[in-house]
Amino acid sequence: MPIYEFYCPDCHTIFSFLSARVDTTTVPKCPKCARAALERQVSRFAISRGLPDPSTARPGGGSDEPPSPQEEQMMRAMESLASDAESLDENDPRQMAGFLRRLYGSADLPVGPAMEEAMRRMEAGEDPDVIDEELGDRLESEMPFGDDESPLTKEGRMKWKSRRRPPLRDETLYSL
């Protein structure tokens, strides 16, 4: 009997559903908030035949090869950004600009002219909502993060803040 996982963006939670048969079409409602359509997730699975004893495996899994210097640098950068995000005052444009600079720098993302102007103006203390209103279309065309709202607007900051953290995982097994 398969177990399917679904993500609820409203609750920022992954739920597991047990099905009596293979069912790739049914999409359940959120058990917590009753959102109509959840997002299907790729479930974790395990294959144990022919693998080494887990008690002798390296911490974190992976191969016997140590991480490359680039991988180690990226892991340190992401840990640092996660720590910064937790202490970020989303109402302080200077802090927001600093965080955006670190985010773009650590991910090695190009900073377009509109985003550069927005960050300069936030560093000067301007209201991010006003900046977004003036540069919105230009910023949108430069966004490397998909269709989410601009990180300068209040709504966008709230979405970014919740998505920086991994989703919660509800351990209950629901019926599909």
Q: What is the pLDDT of residues 75-110, one digit of tens each?
A: 666 676 676 667 777 788 898 888 888 877 776 677
Q: Which domain does 10 fall in, by range?
A: 3-46
- With 0-12 / 13-18 / 19 or more C-beta atoms within 10 angstroms meaning exposed / middle / buried, residue 8 is buried
For residue 44, what pLDDT is reported? 60
Same domain, 39 and 74: no
High-pLDDT (> 70) share of the chain, %: 60
The per-residue pLDDT for 125 is 93
Q: Is there a single domain that holds both residue 76 and residue 155?
A: yes
Model pLDDT for residues 9-22, shown as the tens digit of each residue? 888 899 999 888 88
Report the DSSP beta bridge partners of residue 40: 6
Asked if the structure places residue 145 within a domain, the reply is yes
Q: Are 76 and 25 part of one and the same domain?
A: no
For the beta carbon of residue 7, count every other beta carbon within 10 angstroms. Answer: 16
Amino acid at 171: E
> In this structure, is residue 35 part of a structural domain?
yes
Distance between CA atoms of 84 and 173, rounded to whole angstroms?
34
Q: With b meaning 16 or more CB within 10 Å and e meaning fewer, what string describes 89-123?
A: ebeebebbbbbbbebbebeeeebbebbebbbebbb
Closest C-alpha among 112, 101, 155, 103 to residue 135: 112
pLDDT digits (tens, 9 = 90+) for 134-157: 988 888 777 655 445 555 555 655
Please tell me what DSSP assigns to residue 28.
Answer: P
Structural domain total, the chain: 2
Average predicted confidence (pLDDT) for the chain:
75
pTM score over 0.75: no
What Å distances lie between residue 1 and 23, 46, 119, 152, 174, CA to CA? 10, 15, 51, 45, 13
Whole-angstrom Cα Rg for the chain: 21
The residues facing 166 across adjacent strands are: none
Look at strands 13-18 and 168-175 and give their pairing: parallel
β partners of residue 8 = 13
First to last CA, the chain: 11
The structure tokens 């919740």 sit at 162
Residues 76 and 38 in one domain: no
Residue 117 forms part of a structural domain = yes
Pair 22, 92 in one domain: no
In a shared domain, residues 126 and 84: yes
Tell me the per-residue pLDDT of 44-76, one tens digit each, with 9 for 90 and over.
654 445 555 555 544 444 445 566 665 666 566
Residue 105 to residue 5: CA distance in whole angstroms: 34
> Is residue 83 domain-shared with residue 160, that is, in the same domain?
yes
8 part of a folded domain: yes
51 occurs within a structural domain: no
Same domain, 113 and 79: yes
Whole-number Å distance between alpha carbons of 150 and 142: 10
